Structure 1
Amino acid sequence: MVDLSEPLSAFMARIAGPGSLTGLARLSGGANMESWAFDWAGGGYVLRRAPSAEYMEGRPYGHPVEAALVKAAHGGGVRAPEVVGVLSDSDGMGTGYVMGRVVAEVSPAKILPEPPSSLVADLGRELALIHALPRAAIPPEIPVMDTAAALAELKARFLTYGGDRPAIALAVRWCEDHLPEPADPVLVHGDYRMGNIMVDAGGLAVVLDWELAHLGDAHEDLAFGCMTVWRFGQLDKPAFGVGSLEDYFAAYEAAGGQKVDRTRFRFWLVYRTLWWALGCLQMGQAWRSGADTTVERVVVGRRTAEQELDLIALLEEEAPEAERARPLPTTGEAAPVPVGEPTNREIVQAVRDWIEGTIKPASQGHAKFEAVVAMNALGIVLRDLDAGTRAEDAALSQALLAGRTTLAEPGLLAKLRRAVLEKCAVDSPKYAALAAARAEWGG
């Protein structure tokens, strides 16, 4: 890893004047980019950078364009970070930019139990402001999303990844059958959710992570933060895990946002859940290709199961009432208690216990985060060795994609429910929606 102290000091001296670098520490969050907090001349800052130049390949725009967009949003009254400088090749730190640090809470686990009373209204208002940014203020490199083309690209990626996950195939076909008419494009943040906003006692303080921004349908942004996964266990509060959709939509419309179309909103809720399911699979591909060899990538690659569970929960209303009432098929028998030499499961358990008892307590900062990720990875392996559960079914997936099979087929919904329950129990047993689905489906 590059030692950032010297090049970052030189960079800050050039853009902010004399000072000394203190408190440099990598922040634990950030699934895609590195974030480093530091102080300079009495001020707090954050460096956002790519872990490697290769990591930015294939993206529609780089950090200079992203920084220009964040500046435009900040200048337009959006609670975006204040960009103070953009890295160049000569700075020797890869690509990225430096922002003023905002002192507020970002962890959903800390925000959601007792969110500020204004937060739902803040989220609606801020999104309306983002969508109202004039086209002339937006960097010309920001792409326009063609929904039909984007869906076709998701389908192509699914086929590249094997095309053999029935829940994903079902969602692809549903989106094809329910594709909305094109909308007048607005600036879409693209990742507007809990985890990418910071909150203080006064409410929403700043909107982070603009790397997925594009021009497109406002309902994409409206729906994304309402996905089950981004409610972080607050399943009874469909708007960001904070409140009701009615209050969220009312705040958005009152701040100048367009009238919310519930049918269009539902399409995007399904589409973005599908998008994230494939995004998780893509994380595994990034590790497999060597583009990103962190353990976090392979663990996130197994979170596809969460989205498959959510897709079935979203789409089951398409099935006849009799199929929704059908009981689940039974499961297999438990594995026998091992005897003799240590099994693969017991070896993995020993390594996981060692990390938990020795490595994790001695670690700090990002290293401690990595130890937890490694424990999670080994936990998945342990449960997988016990269950032997697989999600692949190429024949069923192809039938669903082609429309030859639908949820009207007797027993299919019950089969899909059982499959996603068992896979999610292996990959994400603490996922809140898993317990809710078990209670509802009798699993």
Structure 2
Amino acid sequence: MTDIATLLPPLMSGAVGPGTLSGLARLSGGANMESWSFDWAGSGYVLRRAPSAAYMADRPFGHADEAALVMAAHDAGVKAPEVVGVLADGDGMGTGYVMRRVAGEVSPAKILADPPPSLLGDLGRELARIHRIPMDRVPAAIPLMDTREALAELRARFRSYGGDRPVIALAIRWCEDHLPPPADPVLVHGDYRMGNVMVGGAKEGGGLAAVLDWELAHRGDAHEDLAFGCMTVWRFGKLDQPAFGVGSLEDYFAAYEAAGGVKVDYDRFRFWLIYRTLWWALGCLQMGQMWRSGADPTVERVVIGRRTAEQELDLLVLLDAEAPEDERERALPSSPDIAPAPAGEPTNREMVQAVRDWVEGAIKPASQGHAKFEAVVAMNALGIVLRDLDAGVRAEDRALSEALLAGTTTLAEPGLLAKLRRDVLEKCAIDSPKYTALGQARAEWRG
């Protein structure tokens, strides 16, 4: 923070004009990028930058192109932030850019507790505006997605991560078998969901205030953006509201089409809903790889790596309709027995519990801002370990995964769907016990 406080003033003086830096603070959250809020010359700004040079090394475009894209979107009338400066090598702060701060709420929990009446329509309208940005206004570095090649990359990544998750293998094979023909490309935001949109309060007039986080933008199929915010994980517990946790798909699609978006194809939408759920399952696994490589050593990476369990559950919910009816009605096998804890010296479980209690009682209360957020994440990590030590089982199976990838085994195999259902329920109960979809799946599957 001290370095940023020293290095920001020269940048802001050149970009905006004379002023004094105040209120510099690291914002909580932000799974991939650092965000710093500050004031300069009486106005609010946000610095967005990479946590490390290694993080940006394999990205298709850098922050300069991302900033140019955000500026193009802002100029086209999209509610994108206004970029006022881009970091250069001589600035000493790495890569990133500075935007004018937008007033509003970004927390999905707070937004979804009482969403503005206009929000679903705003989301549909704004996405249509993004998709209508002329291609000649999009920076040349923004890549064109070839879905077949992207799917092949997901398969390769799955194998590089161990290739032992049967539900992920099932989803890869389904996507390969249901690949839609190419669509006319539009600018795809790539991360259009709750958590990346800002909603104004009463003072700001309510409704959608800004679309954030453009780092995953590319040229591609409009239905990819349409589906992403409708994934179960991005509805933050609002399972009865399939569009962003805010409303119905029909109302969302109607608002999008009325604002000039492409005609929605439900089969294409389903493909992208499954594809992006698969993509995020592998994205969670990738977080663990980033920690192992040292590219991002934060405890948050480790915890997000275990959120793969949520996506495996969601994938099976989406795909179990492919199984015969008698398999969908089959009873689940029993949960595995838990071995009794040994007596004597403190067990691994007790030692982890002692550390977790110490973080909760001594570290968390004394922390503030991002440090407090990290303490909570550390407690979550230790909670996962405690539950895993109790259970002593996981859901990995490389041989079954290979058979599903090859198509030699399908959900028509007697008992397979029931086994997969039990496995994902047990795994999600360890890694994400508060995940809302877990309770619903238990009820529907009688698990």
TM-score (norm 1): 0.99
Check if 1:50 corresponds to 2:54: no
| CA deviation string 1:290-313 (max 9, x = no partner) | 111110001000000000000000
Query: Hey, what does 1:329 align to over in structure 2?
Result: 333
Q: Letter of the 1:407 partner, please give it.
A: L
Query: Hey, what does 1:238 align to over in structure 2?
Result: 242
Q: Return the alpha-carbon distance in structure 1 between the equivalents of residues 10 and 232 of structure 2.
A: 44
SS, match of residue 85 in structure 1: strand
CA contact (8 A) 2:52 2:295 kept: no
Query: Hey, what does 2:355 align to over in structure 1?
Result: 351
The Cα of 1:16 is off from its aligned counterpart by 1.1
Which of 327, 344, 347 lines up with 1:340 in the alignment? 344
Query: Hey, what does 1:36 align to over in structure 2?
Result: 36
Equivalence map 1:102-121=2 (5 Å): 102-121=102-121
Q: Letter of the 2:51 partner, please give it.
A: P
Check if 1:62 corresponds to 2:52: no
The Cα of 1:334 is off from its aligned counterpart by 3.1
Q: Return the alpha-carbon distance in structure 2 between the equivalents of residues 233 and 379 of structure 1.
A: 21
Q: Return the alpha-carbon distance in structure 1 between the equivalents of residues 4 and 306 of structure 2.
A: 32
CA contact (8 A) 2:166 2:401 kept: yes
Q: Return the alpha-carbon distance in structure 2 between the equivalents of residues 74 and 96 of structure 1.
A: 17
Q: Return the alpha-carbon distance in structure 1 between the equivalents of residues 133 and 217 of structure 2.
A: 12
Which of 290, 295, 299 lines up with 1:291 in the alignment? 295
Q: Letter of the 1:381 partner, please give it.
A: V
Q: Return the alpha-carbon distance in structure 2 between the equivalents of residues 369 and 134 of structure 1.
A: 40
Q: Letter of the 1:47 partner, please give it.
A: L
Which of 420, 425, 429 lines up with 1:425 in the alignment? 429
The Cα of 1:43 is off from its aligned counterpart by 0.2
Q: Return the alpha-carbon distance in structure 2 between the equivalents of residues 148 and 332 of structure 1.
A: 39
Equivalence map 1:215-234=2 (5 Å): 215-234=219-238
Equivalence map 1:43-442=2 (5 Å): 43-201=43-201, 202-442=206-446
SS, match of residue 182 in structure 2: coil
Q: Return the alpha-carbon distance in structure 2 between the equivalents of residues 167 and 250 of structure 1.
A: 33
CA contact (8 A) 1:80 1:207 kept: yes
| CA deviation string 1:23-55 (max 9, x = no partner) | 000000210000000000000000000111121
The Cα of 1:257 is off from its aligned counterpart by 0.4
Q: Return the alpha-carbon distance in structure 2 between the equivalents of residues 92 and 290 of structure 1.
A: 21
Q: Superposition RMSD on alpha carbons, in Å? A: 0.8
Q: Return the alpha-carbon distance in structure 2 between the equivalents of residues 251 and 136 of structure 1.
A: 26
Q: Letter of the 2:200 partner, please give it.
A: D
CA contact (8 A) 2:192 2:225 kept: yes
Moved more, 334-343 or 408-417: 334-343
Q: Letter of the 2:272 partner, please give it.
A: W
CA contact (8 A) 1:50 1:56 kept: yes
Q: Letter of the 1:229 partner, please give it.
A: V
Q: Letter of the 1:326 partner, please give it.
A: R
Q: Letter of the 1:401 partner, please give it.
A: L
Paired residues in the alignment total 443
Q: Letter of the 1:154 partner, please give it.
A: L
In the alignment, structure 1 segments of 5+ residues that lack a partner are: none
Q: Letter of the 1:32 partner, please give it.
A: N
CA contact (8 A) 1:2 1:93 kept: no
Q: Letter of the 1:6 partner, please give it.
A: T
Check if 1:9 corresponds to 2:9: yes
The Cα of 1:389 is off from its aligned counterpart by 2.0
Q: Letter of the 2:159 partner, please give it.
A: L
TM-score (norm 2): 0.98
Q: Letter of the 2:377 partner, please give it.
A: V
Moved more, 5-14 or 120-129: 5-14
Q: Return the alpha-carbon distance in structure 1 between the equivalents of residues 417 and 329 of structure 2.
A: 10
Q: Letter of the 2:254 partner, please give it.
A: A
The Cα of 1:127 is off from its aligned counterpart by 0.2
SS, match of residue 23 in structure 2: strand
CA contact (8 A) 1:173 1:400 kept: yes
Runs of 4+ off more than 4 Å: none
The Cα of 1:338 is off from its aligned counterpart by 4.3
Q: Return the alpha-carbon distance in structure 2 between the equivalents of residues 214 and 168 of structure 1.
A: 24
CA contact (8 A) 1:191 1:224 kept: yes
The Cα of 1:335 is off from its aligned counterpart by 3.1
The Cα of 1:331 is off from its aligned counterpart by 1.3
The Cα of 1:391 is off from its aligned counterpart by 2.1
The Cα of 1:86 is off from its aligned counterpart by 0.3
In the alignment, structure 2 segments of 5+ residues that lack a partner are: none
Q: Return the alpha-carbon distance in structure 1 between the equivalents of residues 296 and 17 of structure 2.
A: 35
Q: Return the alpha-carbon distance in structure 2 between the equivalents of residues 16 and 408 of structure 1.
A: 64
Percent identity for Structure 1 against Structure 2: 79
The Cα of 1:397 is off from its aligned counterpart by 0.3
Q: Return the alpha-carbon distance in structure 2 between the equivalents of residues 125 and 378 of structure 1.
A: 42
CA contact (8 A) 2:52 2:296 kept: no
CA contact (8 A) 2:120 2:252 kept: yes
The Cα of 1:392 is off from its aligned counterpart by 1.2
